[in-house]
Structure 1
């Protein structure tokens, strides 16, 4: 139908920008994507902020070609969590974009943790080197000092949303979380900022996700093809967006996003407290808490080792290696963030890779990521989180039926695969709330499940040995806390 409304979901990922136009029944009317490039060097990971806008504009023009202006009602945007830059008063970048897994700010994270000890104890998490707050401290020390008048921190989402509005955008509290925003009191922690020497004027005004920020300006309409006047709704981070897109909105439900890296997001009625600080909680528009964490393992290891290959054929071959003769801990970048914090952690493969078949090594990557996923749930269970609700799988890896079956086997629980496993859908759902629907109502209408994959008990038992072996190896290397190692063994042996 040519006159029914559509909502736009915009997703700024690590490797690409994705645009979805979605109707009221959750059907994709149009979609487009454009690639993004990164520069990695050791603990640094940067992108050019200019490409975020040019890639998004090109994807929007393609997706909206042929869709009448009157159909587009609203849009929302998600981006990678903790990605930030410094910009001048006019919003022009002063620095590259420091990405979500850039860990150069190790010393600054320790400084922020010490200065804000009381705050972090109350909130239940603490800053990590990849978070935006330590990276801001690093930039303030290593770029022009003092920064030029009017310089301010801009999250990745803020940068693009500002271009859509034609003026500096308010930040949403989801993207502001890793900059130290206090979700309990909906405010910046001014005492901590003073102690760290950060002028509060450098930080954006913050609103809750789902807030109407304004409308698409004329210049942005010309660049993107999005009609002028379309409502712009405050979004959430990519992990939260995928959680909305999966319909995981009830307490005890979880969504596992497996893309370049692995992100788990759940729902609790009260904030989950984590003494290690690797689990942090966003706040949903309905007031529930959204605990989760992001691992540095993920499908990026497949892109690194098997880029350009026929992964479906490799999946078929990998099925003959359960378990693999190799044990791989497939970090995408140095340092682990969840389910444990180990800045010095590095990927490894145990066994004789030189004589192992290619399919055996590929199988060890798939299994290794799934084993880390199980370890994440071991830790969540240790913290007392409810984990017995529906588990959905989203991200690019959810398109693989074999890998989804393997994950169900290793986790020992059913997993559901949404029909549309994209964070951009979650943003289209959130955009729909601008018309007055609650988030739960919008999600129930727009989220469609493709299938449910049940575990195979015989394979679960066969693969648990690999899990215990990984637990022992991570513990022996001094990365995995003893309490988590003990709990993981108990759950495996139960």
Structure 2
């Protein structure tokens, strides 16, 4: 057994949709402890809210489990927290949340999104994404300010999900990072708020936190938080990133041209480019990497979140075994987890559909897996159309990678090798980010290479490509017929430009 007693330990915390996860990892990638705690929410149509107090309780529980599992908190050199992208709340002068947390896919700010886009058209084009979507942070902030007209006078401020946790950790006001603040209007290139645009929207700077780059030390764990979480006071807290960016760092795919595809509740694709991508359709947006590159990508509303909903209590291993011989299946599914699509196209009125009724549960499950894989391929086609390099490594992470049938299916549909690192997770990505903050020049790449351990590589089966090409093309037709997928994107996707 390796003696790691002299190595530094890094703590990463991931606030996902369904739960909080935490890990403690050494500088050489040895996993010392893990913890998790579930989250619940209120999801009704376009409404999706969570209780911010539950976020903190879940963080304390997950971190406490890490320490109980054998990770000595006295050895933790630094920690970082990620959160779901675009999730916000308002806090009072004392940093206490005074509204529910509006989650990443809460879609009630449609009117406000139109206002935001009309006023900030030039700024959003400069930022690369062209238009904001109704689920983004700034439209939701505008909606909250309308709902609570006394908010500004009372000193209420915007807080992203990770800001809520970071403030509890350090015990005082904290700046927000440009990754979580991107969908709230922050200019990641200049690390500033677009004050003129925000003023026209009635959003004063007093309602906004300060901005820093991910990886910036923003404080130390205070005594109260240490007591609640099982840590020790004084641990540096590093500004984190969104969960998609965290998963990207945790995959180890930090080289230009490489991509990380995360399949959890939803599908998130993120890559690395030298330059900022510009998407006039507002589908692809780019975060700024702590290493200085750009991280373009997007989050689809399709994903594995349908599995528990549609197959409750099922033996998923057996279901996958039964589904495997049916692939490729002629049953086409567009498997939306919630109404409306965000990536690889924007269609607020999109709804899930099947091309026909399934013959049974196994075929329906096969079509669900296949539908997500087809959307994943379409995501790659959309970023390829924008000029992003897609010739690097493709790394698969997320909870769905436990399904070996699904992993192989994704390699078959993409038509290229995919790799699955060991222990990859957004929480690991935050541990990598925390380590990089103390690593000097090249810290991020060096930390990722050291801490993310390689796993399996799956090769595509050439015998399946033709059938998948046909099914993929048919799904594109169905999406175009419904008016959701732009014809230019569909035409490019039909050229066989899977990565």
TM-score range, shorter chain: over 0.9
Taking the TM superposition and a 5 Å limit, the aligned residue runs for 1:93-242 are 93-125=97-129, 126-242=131-247
Match of 2:79 among 75, 79, 86: 75
Displacement of 1:398 in angstroms is 1.5
For the pair 1:447 / 2:452, whether they are aligned, the reply is yes
Structure 1 window deviating more from structure 2 (339-348 vs 141-150): it is 141-150
Aligned residue pairs total 492
Displacement of 1:169 in angstroms is 1.3
Displacement of 1:324 in angstroms is 2.0
Secondary structure at the counterpart of residue 320 of structure 1: helix
Taking the TM superposition and a 5 Å limit, the aligned residue runs for 1:313-392 are 313-353=318-358, 356-392=359-395
Displacement of 1:148 in angstroms is 4.9
In the other structure, the counterpart of 2:11 is 8
TM-score, normalised relative to structure 1: 0.97
Structure 2: which 5+ runs fail to align?
A: none
- Cα separation, partners in 2 of 1:188 and 1:81, compared to 1, 3 Å: same
Displacement of 1:434 in angstroms is 3.2
- Cα separation, partners in 2 of 1:493 and 1:343, compared to 1, 3 Å: closer
Match of 1:89 among 61, 68, 93: 93
In the other structure, the counterpart of 2:60 is 57
In the other structure, the counterpart of 1:486 is 491
Displacement of 1:283 in angstroms is 0.5
Displacement of 1:67 in angstroms is 3.2
In the other structure, the counterpart of 2:248 is 243
Displacement of 1:3 in angstroms is 4.7
Determine the C-alpha separation between the residues in 2 that align with 1:237 and 1:67: 25
Determine the C-alpha separation between the residues in 2 that align with 1:89 and 1:145: 13
Query: For 1:115-144, what per-residue CA distance to the aligned partner results, in whole angstroms no more than 9, with x for missing partners?
Result: 011112222212111100000011111234
Structure 1: which 5+ runs fail to align?
A: none
Secondary structure at the counterpart of residue 435 of structure 1: coil
Secondary structure at the counterpart of residue 490 of structure 1: coil
Determine the C-alpha separation between the residues in 2 that align with 1:14 and 1:331: 16
In the other structure, the counterpart of 2:407 is 404
TM-score, normalised relative to structure 2: 0.96
Secondary structure at the counterpart of residue 183 of structure 1: coil
In the other structure, the counterpart of 1:46 is 49
In the other structure, the counterpart of 1:459 is 464
Spell out structure 1 runs of 4+ moving beyond 6 A. none
Contact 1:75 1:232 survives alignment (8 Å)? yes
Secondary structure at the counterpart of residue 319 of structure 1: helix
Determine the C-alpha separation between the residues in 1 that align with 2:291 and 2:425: 21
Displacement of 1:491 in angstroms is 1.7
Determine the C-alpha separation between the residues in 2 that align with 1:307 and 1:147: 45
Query: For 1:282-307, what per-residue CA distance to the aligned partner results, in whole angstroms no more than 9, with x for missing partners?
Result: 00111101101110000001121113
Contact 1:3 1:71 survives alignment (8 Å)? no
Structure 1 window deviating more from structure 2 (78-87 vs 320-329): it is 320-329
Displacement of 1:321 in angstroms is 1.0
Contact 1:334 1:343 survives alignment (8 Å)? yes
Over the aligned positions, Cα root-mean-square deviation in angstroms equals 1.4
Match of 1:295 among 289, 294, 300: 300
For the pair 1:274 / 2:279, whether they are aligned, the reply is yes
Displacement of 1:337 in angstroms is 0.2
